[in-house]
Structure formats: structure tokens, C-alpha cells
Amino acid sequence: MTYEFGRNPQLNRNGELHHLLSIEGLPRAIIERILATADGFINVAEREVKNVPLLRGRSVFNLFFENSTRTRTTFEIAARRLSADVFNLDIMRSSTAKGESLLDTINNLTAMQADMFVVRHATGGAPHLIASHVAPHVHVINAGDGRHAHPTQGLLDMYTIRHYKRDFANLRVAIVGDILHSRVARSDIHALTTLGVPEVRAVGPLTLLPDGLEQLGVRVFTRLDDGIRDADVIIMLRLQNERMRGALLPSAQEYFRNYGLTPERLQLARPDAIVMHPGPMNRGVEIDSRVADGTQSVILPQVTFGVAVRMAVLSIAASSQRMQ
């Protein structure tokens, strides 16, 4: 069943979040609502009873066509804490692995009374395709598609920045590393610029910097020291070797020598700068263990915040009115 959403496929006719497919094009008010809603879920894990009934009776299907541990687990925890019935599809044994089309798989699961799909796929645009074909009451959440987007990671990164820096008005944020292959970097850039961060920086070797960054309002640096100087926030990215085609870097050792974040280099940033990483980390490649485990690292709190942010996304999407 196909529904024509109009200009923004993520929103219903009332302007409410119905699917979360990308941060690009998402109104600032919706991003801010997600962050504010997450505030109310932060302390749920500390309660004696950790569940809230917001998704009771709803069925959430996790469809991860790419390997994932952190994202899939936090989505599962988030859905269960909202009292949803959660189903993890075993992709390697599913009909999709036997040749069934993606949309046929979705149609069959919808016939099993699915209310929400959380989708990770190696092909950019796969969640958009699913969202354009599901029944009007079904919600689709993008958990990462190809190089395109990872919106909930971008949102939890924004939550982390807001938690430590309070607002976005006067920040310098440096995103460092393999930006060319990073869906996280794209989501972060769109979120940061939408939220009004005055200076967003992309730092990395030319071979790992995509074209068009300046058109997005991003300052580009090819020297790490220049890119992180006086930064308030440093977001380190993993080298995505599985997505690279050809020799884009001489070696991991050479990369660390030029772009690895060490305690000495971190001193170039502001004294109260925070260091973030979406994970998994390659210690000794993009980040020194002394930084990853140091006092300015907020990498583990990012994971904690991720559950609350994903609870916020699931609950807000599920509360949107069905489109007639």
C-alpha cells in the first residue's frame, strides 16, 4: 500500500513526525521536541520499574540487514522500556536471504500486524523506499542506510552536546576523520546547522572529504591541528575500511600520526572541550586510549543517552495521527 506524503515524507499532513528517515529537511522544532522528550526518559533506567506503557500493544520489528551491536541493542532496549512487543528478524535465515524482495518481506511482516519497522540497510534510501510503501498506520525509523544517514545517532550526538554545553549558539564543532563514508557525519552536519551552530568544521585528508561540504555551511580543514584549535566539541569518526574502494590512505599508522587525537593535540581545543565518538572505536588509529578514557571523553554517556533518544523517537512517531 502506497501513501503520498507530500513534500516531506517524514511528516504527516499535520506536520507531525511519522517516520524518521533523515535529519536533512527535518524542522528544527521537531529536533528540539525529540531532545526535550528524551530528557524525560533519561532516568527511567534508574527506576525500580524501568518500563513505561507508551507503546503497550504495539509491535516493533528490528530489521538489520547490516551487522550492528550498539544500535540494534539500544533500539531493542528503548522499545522494550516503552512496553512494545519487539521482534528481531534473523536476516541471514529470513526469506530475504532466499531471494524474496525487500518490499515483499515488509508486506508479509505488515500482515503480521507490525506497527513499526526499525531498518538498517547497506543501500542508501532503503528506509525511504519502505516508508513510501507501508500502510498509513506503520512507522519507519532509519537505523542507518549506506553512506546516506544515521538520524538517531545524529540526534543522540546533539543530545550529548546539549547536555554538556547547554545550547548550540556559540559553539565550534569539529568532525574529524572519514567523512566521505560516514552517514553519522552527514546526519551530524545537518543537525548542527539546523540547530544554529555557528561554526561546523570537517577535518580529514582530502581523500576522505566529500565534495560540497562548503555548500552545507561547513569549514573544511586538512590539518588536524588547525581543525580542532579552539573547538568546543570534537567528534571523532571511525575509518570505514569496509566502504572504501581503492587505496585512500597509506596506512593506519600514518593516519594516526596525522589525524589521531592524542592528549597533546587535545590541548589545542578549548580547556572544557568534549570528545565524542559514535563507535566502535579503533584505538591507536583515530583516537589515543588516553583520550578515549580521559576526563574530556563523553563516549560512554553517548551510549546511555542513545537509549533515551531512541525512546523519544519511537514514542513521538507512534503518537502521530494516522493519515487518512
Tell me the per-residue pLDDT of 251-307, one tens digit each, with 9 for 90 and over. Answer: 888 999 999 999 999 999 999 999 999 989 999 999 999 999 999 999 999 999 999
Q: Which three cell numbers stand for residue 33?
A: 521536541
* 3-state SS class at 320: coil
* Average pLDDT estimate for 145-173: 97
DSSP 58-100: -EEEEEESS--SHHHHHHHHHHHHTT-EEEE--GGGSGGGGT-
pLDDT at position 244: 43
What is residue 191's predicted lDDT score, i.e. its pLDDT? Answer: 98
Place of cell 532466499: 98
pLDDT band at 48 (very low <50, low <70, confident <90, very high): confident
| pLDDT bucket at 4, cuts 50 / 70 / 90 | very low
Comparison of pLDDT for 246 and 205, the residue scoring more? 205
Please give the pLDDT value at position 3: 37
Average pLDDT, the chain: 91
Percentage of the residues of the chain whose pLDDT score is greater than 70: 91
pLDDT digits 0-9 by tens, 202-244: 999 999 999 999 999 999 999 999 999 999 999 999 987 554 4
Q: Which has more confidence, 3 or 193?
A: 193
User: Which one has a higher pLDDT value, 245 or 208?
Assistant: 208
Residue whose C-alpha cell reads 563523553 in the numeric block: 298
| 245 band by pLDDT with thresholds 50, 70 and 90 | very low
Q: Is the pLDDT of residue 6 over 60?
A: no
Distance (Å, rounded) from C-alpha 312 to C-alpha 207?
A: 37
For residue 5, pLDDT over 60 is answered with no
Supply the pLDDT for residue 35: 98
CA 226 to CA 44: how far, in whole Å?
41
Residue 187 has pLDDT above 60, yes or no: yes
Find out whether 83 and 51 touch, Cβ atoms under 8 Å: yes
Homologous superfamily of the 28-149+304-319 domain (CATH): Aspartate/ornithine carbamoyltransferase (3.40.50.1370)
Are the C-beta atoms of residues 183 and 147 closer than 8 Å to each other?
yes
| SS3 label, residue 284 | coil
What pLDDT shows up at residue 50? 83
151-298 matches 28-149+304-319 in CATH topology: yes
Question: Is domain 151-298 given the CATH code 3.40.50.1370 in the classification?
Answer: yes
pTM here is 0.92
pLDDT of 324 above 50: no
Q: Kindly state the average pLDDT of the residues 27-36.
A: 97
User: Residues 78-99: what's their mean pLDDT?
Assistant: 79
Mean pLDDT of 139-146: 96
Q: Are 234 and 174 in contact (CB under 8 A)?
A: yes
Domain boundaries defined on the chain: 28-149+304-319, 151-298
